Structure 1
Amino acid sequence: MNHVLISGVTSCESRGVEALVRSVAAHARFWPCQRTTVLTQTPALDAAAVAGLDTQVQFVADPFVVSRSWAAHRPAESERQLAARRDALLADAALVIGTGGDLHTPDYGVSTRYLRALREAQQRGIPTVLVGQSWGVFDDTAEADALVAVASRCAMLSVREEASREYAVNKLGLADERIRLSSDPAFLLPAAPAEQTAAVLASCGVGPGDAYLCLAPSQGITRHSMLTDDQHLQALLNLVRHLAVECGVPVLLVPHCHDSRPHNDDRILVDRIAALAGHLGVRAVPGALSAPEYKAVLGGATLVVAERLHAAIGALSSGTPAVVVGHSHKFSGVLAHAYGPNVPADAFHLDIHALAEPGAWRPLASLPKEARLRRALTGRLPQMIAAARSDFTALRAALQR
């Protein structure tokens, strides 16, 4: 029993996933061996993405979930080979942590598959936890039942917003005292050093002390809406042009997901927006930046507009106001938790289905409300960070019991 397994990881090509991996791995230090194994679809890419994180963190191809869309990034294995690796990993495991942010929702249709590592660990008597996630709302009762079966046997459960907690208690029937209302583990992610960030900003023409805004668009968000890619692009062009002209400061386009699959690669959309915006103030952030580097860029902005939730979290966890275009309750739920009950949802959230309506994006581009959001966030941020950290304190206590 000499390593902690982290499951629920797809690929650190998504800087949101990278932020989760970095944060969870850095705080999952419960055993003398101090060794962590991350199960992922893209082990070599992920190891390179977090190089220098910790020599005791290793990345291996997930033998419990095999994604065909990332087949080129993992070894070809027979079912017998996969089974042997599953047995070996669990035989050596002291704890299995389920992360993944929004895996256990109906958005991607993968919830039950990503429960397998936890379920097989439970069958062997290995402690399991589910940390800092959004849950539901499931249309498929089999998916809901699978989540309940695993969650009921976990040593600790936490969710990152109130809507998921209410769903877990009132719909799934989990005991109120069993599930913690916490925050996303990525609230614990450190930002890159200031001098490193200054070099990135300088490459975008932003000097020390210069104000700027950020837009973090999602290449894949139209898959969760009735919008066409062209409608989505036109709405974002209208938004960035308004921001650049009305606010008079640079608008930096942040490609938060560098996916090897074109349908989800934000660099493609960012390049199109930059090329078509027709305004010198609209600039793409270049290079393959890490999650801490993106957090530093986002955290230095006056305001961030995000279609990637973890881009918004990168801003929020730095004390920078963020507003979102979302495709599920996780967006409004996480931001409502960050801003508190005195800020209405329409001040920080627009559903993706409404984005293409004429002028629908204008409330997101309103700088006068930035000070109000910043004040609300400043009052709540210490609580959000403490809640994320307390998950790991609670986990230690649960394991000791």
Structure 2
Amino acid sequence: MSNVLITGITSCESRGVEALARAIAEQLTSEGGNRVTVLTQTPALDEEALASTTARCVADPFVVSRSWQQMRPQESPAELIARSEQLLAETDLVIATGGDLHTSDYGVSTPYLRALTAAQQRDIPTAVIGQSVGPFGDPADAEAWLTVADRCDLLTVRESVSHRYLVGKLGLPEHRVQLSSDPAFLLPTATDERTSAVLRPLGLTPEDPYICLAPSQGITRFSALGEMQHAAALTRLATALVRTRKMPVLLVPHCHDSRPHNDDRILAARIAEAAGMPQVMALPGALTASDYKGVLARAELVISERLHAAIGALSGGVPAIAIGHSHKFNGVLAETYGDTVDVDDIHADVRAFAQDNTVIDRIVHDTDATVLRTTLQQRLPLITDRARSDFAQINRLLAG
């Protein structure tokens, strides 16, 4: 039995982060029989969220986020160093995830290389799996990432945009990076009984069709949009979907953040109130990533500003389109659907969405969910096989 350290996890308050952590931990524990330790900013919360995986969650000693300080132990620099040394001393492999941490978008890229760098200095094998990478605005960040990437034993990205960036722009040798997919494609879905129980308070039975809309409270921070303008556009979209598609719209708050600027429950409630129609409903409750996947996997169509809500739908065989602010959105969706689907049919830039009413009209009237579903079902085995391949290679590393 090997000890695996997972880094790149911020907090399972984001159900997208939970989806990543849970999918990876379950592959390593249930399938691989390994001991898993997850480095996180919210260890007690994440220990509970990942309890079924038997993963141990500890406060990340390499990265200490000021915005989550109240949710982790207070430690001196010396205590952090001592704990990081102890963790590495008992580690056989460090796996980095995070989805899209390694970009200039959020300003935290280089700090999340520390665990990998420390492991490589001690000749502990390292892997980066299912990541989107770049673009880097600061050459120093790009150089720091390349230094780590050059020593990784396994490096995979989840879409071709990142692959082209690493090879074509940053000059990483093509044999050093593999095209894979997001590990969250392997996240288990909640049982039918559990999903029905979640939907029942909203008056929905298993036979009732509906559309899901997953809004992002935090997206305006990265897109220079005003919150009121953004919420108004989402409200127009939700009401137009009800009127045109003749089915309810469920608002899916995929991120339950303790920080209001990133808590989707606030925005979902705001949209439901502004819509003023009973068919626009915010999904209530402290739901898990698997719970949300169960709801998303029953939808007729999912429109999402949270990438992992879209992945929850896609991995359940349900067509999803994204409203995004960076290349990761169109990259992952384009990779999932393949070349036969026009990227403009599955992705809208959030700035255009909020400022141009024709974008909403196109989403509501022109999205052909049946065609997207058929294409997705043909592509999905390839996408999930890529994710499973990462873990087959990890098992070979550990057996090595």
Q: TM-score, normalised by structure 1?
A: 0.97
Structure 1 SS opposite 2:393: helix
Partner-residue secondary structure (3-state), 1:227: coil
Q: CA deviation at 1:393?
A: 0.9
- Residue 353 of structure 1: aligned partner: 351
Question: 1:106 deviation in Å?
Answer: 1.3
Deviation at 1:278, TM superposition (A): 1.0
Matched, 1:4 2:22: no
Name the counterpart of 2:248.
250
CA gap of 1:264–1:271, structure 2 versus 1, over 3 A, is: same
- Go from structure 1 to structure 2 and tell me whether the alpha carbon gap of 1:68 and 1:135 turns closer, same or farther (over 3 Å shift): same
Secondary structure, in 3 states, of the residue corresponding to 1:24?
Answer: helix
The one-letter code matched in structure 1 to 2:394 is: L
Aligned to 1:35: 35
1:345-401: CA deviation from partner (whole Å, max 9, x where unpaired): 110100011012223222222365111111110110000011000011122334545
- How many pairs are equivalent? 399
Contact residue 14 and residue 258 of structure 1 kept, 8 A: yes
Counterpart check, 1:54 vs 2:53: yes
How far off its partner does 1:231 sit? 0.2
Q: How does 1:199-348 map to 2 (within 5 A)?
A: 199-348=197-346
Name structure 1 gaps, 5 residues minimum: none
Q: Once the 2 structures are TM-superposed, how far is the Cα of residue 92 of structure 1 from its aligned partner?
A: 0.7
2:386 aligned with 1:384: no
Deviation at 1:34, TM superposition (A): 2.3
Q: Secondary structure at the match of 1:218?
A: coil
> 30-39 vs 175-184, which deviates more?
30-39
Q: Report the AA paired with residue 15 of structure 2.
A: R
Shift, 1:44, TM fit: 0.6
Deviation, structure 1 residue 203: 1.3
Cα 1:384–1:374 change in 2 (3 A) is: same
Offset, 1:29: 4.8
* Mapped contact 1:3–1:33 kept (Cα < 8 A): no
The match for 2:114 is 116
- Deviation of 1:175 after TM superposition, in Å, equals 1.3
Secondary structure of 1:28's aligned partner: helix
Distance 1:92 1:2, change over 3 A: farther
Q: Secondary structure at the match of 2:321?
A: strand
Distance 2:72 2:233 in 1: 37
- Distance across 1 between alignment mates of 2:371 and 2:206: 25
- What residue number does 2:176 align with? 178
Q: Please, which runs of 5 or more residues in structure 2 have no aligned partner?
A: none
Residues 1-29 of structure 1, C-alpha deviations (whole Å, 9 max, x = no match): 95210000000000000000011111225
Residue deviations 1:45-76 (CA, integer Å, cap 9, x gap): 1112223x233x10000000000000000011
Helix, strand or coil at the partner of 1:157:
strand
* Contact 1:155/1:399 (8 A) holds in 2: no
Distance change >3 Å, CA 350–CA 368, structure 1 → 2: closer
Structure 2 equivalent of residue 98 of structure 1: 96
State the one-letter code of the partner of 2:219: I
Could you tell me how far apart the structure 2 residues matched to 1:195 and 1:284 are? Answer: 20
* CA deviation string 1:321-366 (max 9, x = no partner): 0011001000000000010001011101000110122232222223
Letter in 2 for 1:35: R
1:319 Cα deviation from its structure 2 partner: 0.3
Percent of aligned pairs with the same amino acid: 57
Residue 370 of structure 1 corresponds to: 369
Deviations 1:288-308 (A, max 9, x none): 100000001011000000000
Separation (CA, whole Å) in 2 of partners of 1:159 and 1:45: 28
1:377 match: secondary structure: helix
Change (3 A) 1:43 1:127: same
The question of 1:69 aligning with 2:67 is answered yes
Displacement of 1:32 in angstroms is 8.7
2:16 corresponds in structure 1 to 16
Partner AA of 2:335 in structure 1: H
Instruction: Give the counterpart of 1:169 among 163, 167, 170.
Output: 167
Instruction: Report the TM-score when normalising by structure 2.
Output: 0.97
SS in 1 for 2:359: coil
